[in-house]
Amino acid sequence: MAGTTGTVATPLDVATLQTRLAHFAASRRWEPFHTPKNLAMALSVEASELVEIFQWLTPEQAARVMDDPESAHRVEDEVADVLAYLLQLCEVLGIDALAALAAKIDRNESRFPAPGA
């Protein structure tokens, strides 16, 4: 699967997306504002905007949120914003997001063994 920037296809992987985000911020001279504190706060705000979409839905309505094109678009935009800020935070702090997730899954498998395992 590939994303596009103009007419040039780029692979969708974490490093490529982080590079695109860094270029986007740099071309607008936003780097001074992309501190760990500011990025963590922005991440929290965007996660809250995602939560807001689901706030008053029943479990059944929430399960069908992607069936409506308008609400699906809103969810996708907020998920993208959350991921963008998370990837930027990882870049600034030097965290390999995929390695951190893999390590966390390993720890959780030890902490919470599957029943009967």
User: CA-to-CA distance for 31 and 60, rounded, in angstroms?
Assistant: 42
User: CA-to-CA distance for 23 and 5, rounded, in angstroms?
Assistant: 12
Q: What are phi and psi of 11, to 5 degrees?
A: -70, 150
Tell me, yes or no, if the pTM score tops 0.75.
yes
Contacts of 54 (CB under 8 A, 6+ apart): 62, 65
pLDDT digits (tens, 9 = 90+) for 102-116: 999 999 999 999 998
Mean pLDDT of 94-99: 97
User: CA-to-CA distance for 70 and 39, rounded, in angstroms?
Assistant: 27
Q: Is the pLDDT of residue 12 over 60?
A: yes
pLDDT at position 25? 96
Contact status, residue 54 vs residue 65, Cβ threshold 8 Å: yes
